[in-house]
């Protein structure tokens, strides 16, 4: 049975896999970063917004919120949750329809799904969609989320009960790739009714900092957690905060 693209079959179950405190933590982290940068963002674009749970918090704290995601099924959930928010079904590398905003966020390691050329293209799109002086906040899975230093891949498997059935979630960790395979079983079914595969790619903080600079950003923060702690040599996750320098006007 061929696997579909990520976040198609997973969409109805995604919210049950994600604790609410994660979204609260991300929102507090975003607001504190804006305070530290002295930026009063009125408009925000959330990339890879998924089912809109972080968007829900952003909509409470900002004057205007837009969401972008490539998955139609995920956006259907988001639109039902937040009918007043404008959502766009587009890719990270070439999204075009949302207007410019003061803040762009892309959380939950969504940029890890991009290989380096696409990563560069996505940064260029973010830069174009930010107002001068705007802030870009995103995170990435780090070394500890991959089999860095291992000679062979590392695997594990989980089985999760969900409404209407169960999910078998298998992870394969390679030095520069993380492959997650999901099989979906209806109640009582011994054979998977559908499946999908997710692939994430490792990007070192040093390389990401270089790409940000090449794209016109200034990296103003790199953290290992919501408490703004300094990253270690082998981090599970990295949090990046970058700004778009105001364009100098001549005359």
Q: Indicate if 138 and 149 belong to the same structural domain.
A: no
Does residue 6 fall inside a structural domain?
Answer: no
Q: Indicate if 162 and 227 belong to the same structural domain.
A: no
Residue 100: its pLDDT value, please?
A: 96
Residue 40: its pLDDT value, please?
A: 79
Give the tens place of pLDDT for each residue, 205-227: 999 999 999 999 999 999 999 98
Whether pLDDT at 250 is above 50: no
Which domain range does residue 71 map to?
Answer: 11-142+202-244
3-state helix/strand/coil string of 181-200 = EEEEEECCCCCCCEEEEEEE
Which CATH number do you get for residue 63? Answer: 3.40.50.150
Contact predicate 72/89, CB 8 Å: yes
The structure tokens listed for 60 are 């409470």
Give the tens place of pLDDT for each residue, 234-243: 889 999 999 9
pTM assigned to the model: 0.94
Which CATH number do you get for residue 182? Answer: 2.20.25
Residue 130: its pLDDT value, please?
A: 96
Sorting pLDDT into bands at 50, 70 and 90, what band is 191? Answer: confident
Residue 152: its pLDDT value, please?
A: 67
Q: Indicate if 228 and 111 belong to the same structural domain.
A: yes
Q: Indicate if 100 and 208 belong to the same structural domain.
A: yes
Does residue 251 fall inside a structural domain?
Answer: no
Dihedral angle sign, alpha carbons of residues 229, 234, 236, 238: positive
d(CA 221, CA 46): 19
Contact predicate 77/15, CB 8 Å: yes
DSSP output for 101-137: EEEEEE-TTGGGGS-HHHHHHHHHHHHHHEEEEEEEE
Does residue 97 fall inside a structural domain?
Answer: yes
Whether pLDDT at 204 is above 80: yes
Mean pLDDT of the chain: 92
Q: Indicate if 15 and 137 belong to the same structural domain.
A: yes
Dihedral angle sign, alpha carbons of residues 26, 217, 238, 177: positive
């Amino acid at each position: 049975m061929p696997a579909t693209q990520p976040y198609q079959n997973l969409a109805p179950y995604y919210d049950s896999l994600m604790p609410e405190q994660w979204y609260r933590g991300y929102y507090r982290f975003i607001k504190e970063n804006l305070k530290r940068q002295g930026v009063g963002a009125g408009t925000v674009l959330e990339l890879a917004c998924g089912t809109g749970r972080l968007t829900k918090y952003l909509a409470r704290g900002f004057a205007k919120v837009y969401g972008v995601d490539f998955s139609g099924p995920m956006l259907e959930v988001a639109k039902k949750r937040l009918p007043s928010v404008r959502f766009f079904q587009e890719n990270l590398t070439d999204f075009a329809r949302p207007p410019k905003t003061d803040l762009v966020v892309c959380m939950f390691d969504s940029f890890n799904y991009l290989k380096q050329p696409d990563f560069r293209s996505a940064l260029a799109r973010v830069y174009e969609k930010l107002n001068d002086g705007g802030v870009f906040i995103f995170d990435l899975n780090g070394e500890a989320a991959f089999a860095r230093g291992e000679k062979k891949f590392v695997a594990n498997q989980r089985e999760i009960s969900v409404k209407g059935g169960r999910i078998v979630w298998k992870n394969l960790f390679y030095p520069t790739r993380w492959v997650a395979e999901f099989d979906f079983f209806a109640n009582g079914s011994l054979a998977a009714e559908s499946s999908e595969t997710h692939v994430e790619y490792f990007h070192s903080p040093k390389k990401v900092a270089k790409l940000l600079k090449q794209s016109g950003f200034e990296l103003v923060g790199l953290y290992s957690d919501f408490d703004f702690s300094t990253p270690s040599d082998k981090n599970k996750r990295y949090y990046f905060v970058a700004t778009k320098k105001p364009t100098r006007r001549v005359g």
